[in-house]
Chain A
C-alpha cells in the first residue's frame, strides 16, 4: 500500500523538500533546513502543508450532543466562529486524541490528528448510536495550510473576502478565496500568531504559491515539531497517549468536569501518576524521546516524550513525565542519553512565549 499524497505534493517535490512517510502520508519534513525554517516562523512567516490532519464536519440536530459526549472541553458555551482545544478520552480518562472543535451557525467541525483519523472516526461512529448526526470526513477533498509567524497578518491582507486580520485568536470564519468557499482560522501549532486555511483541493496549490510569493518560507514537519516543542504544545503519540490523561498532561484547563457528563469524566475526577514537565539541559546535547529521566542520584524516575536542540532558544529542551514530587520548577534531574547522564533542571512551560504585539 502506498502513502497518501496531499494536493501540494508536487509543490514539495519542486521545492526539493525532503519527503518522509508520516501517519500514512508522504509529507515534507524540511526544505531549506529545520533551523532556518524555525527561525523564519519566529521572525517573519512560514507556510506548512498540514493537509494530512483530518477534517471532520458535524451536522444534524444532535451534533452538539455528540460533541459534548466525546470532548472534554465545553462546546455548548462556544460562540459561532469560535475554536476550542480539548481532548477525546476513553472511559478510563486515557487520551484518544487532542482535537480542535469549530462552531458554525449551521454545525460543527473538528480537526483531528492524522495518526488518529481512523480511531476517532470509529469512536464517533460508536457514540453516535441513537443520535441524529451527519458526520462527513472532508480530509481527502480539502487542503489545509498553516501560515505562521509575525508577518502572517500582513501576508494574508486582501486574500480572502473576510478580513482575516479581524479574527481574534482561536476564532475562524467561513469565507471565500478566489470565489470558492474556504475557512480561515486564527490558530496554529507554533507559538506564533498565524492562520490555518482549509479550502478545496483544486485551489490548494494556488493559495500555496500565492502565500510563498508574498514572502512566506516553506516549512516542513521538522520545524513544526521544534516550534511546537518550544511552545510546549503536546504532540499525540509523544506527550499524549491512551496511557496518559489530560490532567497529568497539564491540560486540565481543557477539561470541564462540571459541564455535564462526557466519556472519561468519572475517571478524570481522581487521577494519579507522573505529570508532564519541561526540562532544560545544561549542555547542547539533546534528550530524545524514550531517554530515561533519572533523579539527581541516578535512580530512574521517568521518560522523555520529546526533546531537541531548540533552534530559537539555542538550548537543549525536553518534555517528559516524572512523579509529582519531582515536578517542581528547579528540581535537578538527569537524562540518560545512551549511557551518558546529562544534567537537567525542571523549568516552567512554555519554554518560549511570543513577544506581545504592539497595539497599533
Chain B
C-alpha cells in the first residue's frame, strides 16, 4: 500500500511533512526496480538542494540512479546508517531502504526553502495511477 500521509514525485521519491521539516526517501516501487541497493551517496548536512535536481546516487548490482529532491531546501539531517563512515570504520547498511523504504529507510530531512510546498507533488492516489499507467 502506498502511504497517504505524504506526497510523491514522478521519479519515485516521497516527501513527508515532519513538523518544520520534510522527510525524503524513495518508494517501494523504486526499491523493487533497483533490487537490493548496494551503495547510497547523500549530501552533507547544510547542503542546499534544488527541487527536481539530483541530491544523491543510489546503486544496485545492476544500476546507478539519481535520487532527486522533491522540494527545495537545506539538508537538516541524514539517515547516517545508510552511508559509510570511513573515519569511524562503519560500513553502510542499506537494508532499511530495502526492507522498509517508507519508514526506517528514509534518507534525508530537509528544512524547506521559504515558500516551498508539497502541493505540486503527486498524491498517493495519483502516484499509484502513474504506476498503473506505466503498466506496473
The residues of A with any CB-CB pair to B shorter than 8 Å are 29-30, 33-35, 38, 222, 226, 283-286, 288, 308-309, 311, 337-338, 340
Asked if residues A286 and B35 are in contact (CB atoms below 8 Å), the reply is no
Give chain B residues whose Cβ lies under 8 Å from the Cβ of A29: 62
A285-B41, A337-B64 given; A34·B59 CB < 8 A: no
Contacts beyond the supplied A34-B35, A222-B62, A285-B41: 4 A-B pairs with Cβ under 8 Å: A29-B62, A33-B36, A286-B39, A309-B39
* B1 interfacial by beta-carbon distance below 8 Å: no
Q: With a 10 A CB-CB cut-off, give which of B38, B57, B92 has the most chain A CB atoms.
A: B38
User: Which chain A residues border B92 with CB–CB below 8 Å?
Assistant: 284
Nearest-Cβ distance from residue A335 to partner chain B, whole angstroms: 12
Q: Min CB distance, B63 to chain A, in Å?
A: 9
A35-B36 contact, Cβ under 8 Å, with A284-B92, A285-B59, A286-B59: yes
- Chain B residues with CB under 8 Å of A311's CB are 61
A-B contact pairs, 30 of them (CB 8 A): A30-B35, A33-B35, A33-B36, A34-B35, A34-B36, A34-B60, A34-B61, A35-B61, A222-B61, A222-B62, A283-B39, A284-B39, A284-B84, A284-B91, A284-B92, A285-B41, A285-B57, A285-B59, A286-B39, A286-B59, A286-B64, A288-B64, A308-B61, A308-B62, A309-B38, A309-B39, A309-B59, A311-B61, A338-B57, A338-B64
- Interchain nearest-CB distance for B126 vs A (Å): 25
- Bound-state CA distance A226–B63 (Å) is 12
User: A337 — nearest CB in chain B belongs to which residue?
Assistant: B64
B26-54: CB near A (< 8 Å → 1, else 0) gives 00000000011011010000000000000
B61 touches A309 (CB 8 A): yes
Q: For this complex, into which size category does the number of interface residues on chain B fall?
A: 10 to 19
The minimal Cβ–Cβ distance linking B97 to chain A, given in whole angstroms, is 14
Write the nearest CB–CB distance from B8 to chain A, whole angstroms.
22
Closest-CB distance, A178 to chain B (whole angstroms): 36
CA distance A311 to B59 in the complex (A): 13
Q: How far apart sit A283 and B38, CA to CA, in the bound complex (Å)?
A: 11
Binding site for A on B (CB under 8 A): 35-36, 38-39, 41, 57, 59-62, 64, 84, 91-92
Distance in angstroms between the alpha carbons of A30 and B61 in the assembled complex: 12
* Residues of A with C-beta under 8 A to B61: 34-35, 38, 222, 226, 308-309, 311
Q: Which residues of B contact A286 (CB under 8 A)?
A: 38-39, 59, 64
**Closest A residue by C-beta to B86:** A283
Complex: how many Å from CA A354 to CA B35? Answer: 26
Point out the residues of chain B lying under 8 angstroms from A33, CB to CB.
35-36
A34 to B64, CA, bound (A): 15
A224 to B91 CA separation, bound complex (whole angstroms)? 27
Contacts of A337 in B (CB 8 A): 64
Give the chain B neighbours of A338 by CB distance below 8 A. 57, 64
Whether the Cβ atoms of A283 and B84 lie closer than 8 Å is yes
Cα–Cα distance between A288 and B62 once the two chains are bound (Å): 9
Closest B residue to A309 using CB positions: B38
Chain B residues contacting A285 (CB-CB under 8 Å) are: 39, 41, 57, 59
B19 to chain A, nearest CB (A): 33
Contacts of A226 in B (CB 8 A): 61
Most chain B CB neighbours (cut-off 10 Å) among A29, A35, A284: A284
Which partner residue on chain B sits nearest A310 by CB separation? B61
> In the assembly, what is the distance between CA of A330 and CA of B97, in Å?
35
Q: With A and B bound together, what is the CA distance between A38 and B60 in angstroms?
A: 14
Contacts of B36 in A (CB 8 A): 33-35
Point out the residues of chain A lying under 8 angstroms from B59, CB to CB: 285-286, 309
* Complex Cα–Cα for A189 and B13 (A): 37
Q: How far is the CA of A222 from the CA of B61 in the complex (A)?
A: 9
Q: Which residues of B contact A283 (CB under 8 A)?
A: 39, 84
Residues from chain A with Cβ under 8 Å of B57 in the complex: 285, 338
In the complex, the answer to whether B64 meets A284 with C-beta atoms within 8 Å is no
Closest to B91 in A: A284
* Least CB distance, B113 to chain A, in whole angstroms: 25
CB neighbours (8 Å) of A30 from chain B are: 35
| Cα distance, A255 to B2, chains bound together (Å) | 57
User: In the docked arrangement, what's the CA distance between A35 and B92, Å?
Assistant: 17
List, in ascending order, chain B residues with CB within 8 A of A340's CB.
41
**Chain A residue, CB-CB nearest to B54:** A338
Least CB distance, A286 to chain B, in whole angstroms: 5
* Neighbouring B residues of A34 by C-beta, 8 Å: 35-36, 60-62
